[in-house]
Chain A
Amino acid sequence: MSRAGSFLSRAGLTPGQLTMHAVLLACAFAMLFPFYWMVLTAFRPSPEVFSATFHWLPQTFAGIDNFREAFAKAPLLRFMTNGMVICAGILAVQLSTAIPCAYALAKYEFRGRNLLFALVLFALCVPVQVPALPLYMGLAFTGTLDSYFSLMLPFFLSVFAIFLFRQVFRSFPDDIIHAARLDGMGELEILWRVVVPSASPAIAAFAVFSITAHWNDLYWPLIVVTSPELAPPPLGMMYFSDSDLGSSFGALMAAATLLTAPLVVLFLCAQRHFVQGVTMTGVK
């Protein structure tokens, strides 16, 4: 006991902290194990998947076959391109609308500002499923169903982004805005050249939220898209597993690994900004 105690104190840990770390490790394992299983399965042959014993490493290496099969049977690059087009389009419109909105709500005095902000908070509570039917009718009426545009339209205006950026912009010093006005900058120039660069952590955080959500979205693409060549990654995966690869777990997981990889890379790149942005605003 005393030896264990001295080991703990040497490591700088109290028993309470040790328990906490054990709980966190267990949670991390629960979160990460499915991903591990996905990657593992992508590298082993199908019989191993169904065998009764579990091995941490593939007994027979079948990675090359699995990835080759995945590429042969499904247009993975096409799905990824679709995902990128959709995510980039949504993010660009979201930023270019939410940033001016948020700036106006944060820094301008005008009649009805508080009411508008209350409406923003209210809209945060409305899930995308609520306006789905009218949006679908509208798209059908204008004949734009089954297009990139229909995939992006419902997400162009992000109230979450307005809320997040408003909180960030509120803490931007008024003196700097005043100095910029005296220096002769126009209001839009002040916003994009002075205020936005200092909000880059929050913008990076929001970009990660937005891209993750729309890369992984299945619900809306399932409603508006029927052509496989427009399918974003999750919908593509669905077509893919339905048709002829239903039982070929190795290839399926190889495809899933490839489609998840861009998000992991994105998160790793934006991680520092992301954590900063979220702790800074204290939301989500």
Chain B
Amino acid sequence: MVRPKPAGQSMTATVSISSIEKNFGATKTLKGVSVDIAAGEFLTLVGPSGCGKSTLLRILAGLIPQDGGSIHIDGAPVDHLPPRARDVSMVFQSYALYPHMSVRENIATPLKVRRLSSAARWPVVGRMMPGQAVARAAIAEAVNQVAGQVEIEALLDRRPAQLSGGQRQRVALARAMVRQPRVFLMDEPLSNLDARLRVHMRGELSELHRRLGATFIYVTHDQVEAMTMSSRVALMMDGEIIQVATPSEIYANPVDVRVARFIGSPEINLLDARADQHGHVSIAGRTTAFRSDTVGPFTIGLRPEVLAIDDGSSEIVIDSRLQRIERLGHDVLLHMRHDAGSKKSMTLRVSAAELDALQANGRLNENVAVGARAGSALLFGADGKRLPGLHGAAPPELVAYGLGLRAVGA
């Protein structure tokens, strides 16, 4: 039996995942995944559908057994423990509320199971069992308190079917919070909500994490959720964790071309490049003044915001044709065609002011040269691994818009 924790005890724990493997038949879903999560951290497992992130979360919860490796919570192995004894709670994408119970009963269930004897939990007759008044009162108090935290006091007597998606989400959160677990697991909790509500709940989840101080492990396929909420992001692909880093680090310094492509919207622009036997680099067919450590073909990655229309001062220049302009309000996306990569298309992100300046100067023709600073280029080898930057380039500038504005001459 798990004893009820005294109030005020901090509900947080480290989680250590080491070489977890899982096979479904002949498919290797998880190929030795390892990651250590600090107490109170908000770690997001992000990756495309089918990369094994939800499977990993269910293994953590003890809902499915792993085929290899082990899980430690607060330093103690939990591999042999059933889900109830792991002291973790989970919020599901489908919310998984008990359909025939009221919201109040849904939230109270985890506490009732732990604090009332099995006889006292019988429907109808259970209430007549002696010596449970104190426990029942404490449960009611805890339910009210948690309902207040997620602002659903008015809905306590409704059934889940009578609630909207966002309200169900809050009930699911309340049910996860009420027993004060050491670790929260969240399996795409926002993906069934509409876009507006998702943005709102993102803020609420971050705020909740800050207030509870508990360890959150959050699974999503949405890189925006990963970037906005987490203290660290673990990017999974094909059953492996490719990189674990803070959101800014994983954006600025991806270790693999797959990471670079997955994180960031619009997607990073990838161009073909080559280094001759002396290391002299040519990009998109133009020779440059830079050198690289490798020899042979490689890929160069440029984020949409480090690109600008060339004003003659750019260190890297790509010839391209303007295809389409997408105004997003403050930002504008310029979609270009070029011949320097397998994808042949390229996206620039400029501010609306820059676009207006370009159009006023008459410099936005059909055929334009796009330029970038060499220091902001990310280099990836033929195997997709990150390579050191170009030699002879200034370090990357963090304020991308400033660069763009200077390039325009505004």
Contact = CB atoms under 8 A, between A and B. Distances in A.
Interface stretch (B86-94, B264-272, B371-379, B380-388): B86-94
A176 B96 contact: yes
Contacts of A197: 100
B113 interface: yes
Interface in A184-229: 184-186, 189, 193-194, 197-198
B61 interface: yes
A235 B88 CA distance: 60
Given A173-B94, A175-B92, A181 B83 contact: yes
Interface residues of B, number: 26
B98 A173 contact: no
Contacts of A184: 2, 84, 110, 113-114
Contacts of B123: 193
Interface band, chain A: 10 to 19
Contacts of B82: 181
- Residue with the greatest number of chain B CB neighbours at <10 A, chosen from A178, A182, A193: A182
A173 B96 contact: yes
A179 B84 contact: no
A120 interface: no
B115 to A, nearest CB: 10
A244 interface: no
- Residue with the greatest number of chain A CB neighbours at <10 A, chosen from B93, B113, B121: B113
A178 B110 contact: no
Contacts of B90: 178-179, 182
A233 B99 CA distance: 40
A183 B109 contact: yes
A39 interface: no
A192 to B, nearest CB: 9
Contacts, number: 60
A27 B118 CA distance: 53
Nearest to B88: A182
Contacts of A175: 92-94, 96
A142 to B, nearest CB: 35
B63 interface: yes
B63 A182 contact: yes
B335 interface: no
A178 B109 contact: no
A180 interface: yes
B56 to A, nearest CB: 14
A232 to B, nearest CB: 31
A197 B160 CA distance: 14
A184 to B, nearest CB: 4
Given A183-B84, A184-B2, A184-B114, A178 B63 contact: yes
A181 B93 CA distance: 16
Nearest to A181: B83
B326 to A, nearest CB: 38
Interface in A26-74: none
Contacts of A178: 58, 61, 63, 83, 90, 92, 96
B178 to A, nearest CB: 10
A176 B109 CA distance: 13
Interface in B115-130: 118, 121, 123
A183 B58 CA distance: 14
A92 to B, nearest CB: 17
Contacts of A182: 61, 63, 83-84, 88-90, 110
A73 to B, nearest CB: 43
A185 B109 CA distance: 9
Nearest to A179: B96
A173 B160 CA distance: 15
Interface in A69-123: none
Nearest to B122: A193
Interface string A158-177: 00000000000000010110
- Residue with the greatest number of chain A CB neighbours at <10 A, chosen from B61, B83, B118, B123: B83
A183 B63 contact: no
Interface string A237-248: 000000000000
A198 B96 contact: no
Nearest to A178: B63
A176 B94 CA distance: 9
A193 B108 CA distance: 14
A181 B89 CA distance: 10
A193 B123 CA distance: 9
Contacts of B175: 179, 183
Nearest to A172: B99
A125 B96 CA distance: 37
Nearest to A185: B113
A198 B96 CA distance: 13
Given A178-B61, A181-B83, A184-B113, 9 more contacts: A178-B92, A179-B90, A179-B97, A180-B109, A183-B89, A183-B175, A184-B114, A185-B84, A185-B109
Q: Kindly list the 3 A-B residue pairs having the minimum CB-CB distance in the complex, ordered from nearest.
A: A184-B84, A175-B96, A179-B96
20 contacts: A173-B94, A173-B96, A175-B94, A178-B58, A178-B61, A178-B83, A178-B92, A178-B96, A179-B92, A180-B109, A181-B82, A182-B83, A182-B84, A182-B110, A184-B84, A184-B110, A185-B113, A189-B113, A194-B98, A198-B99
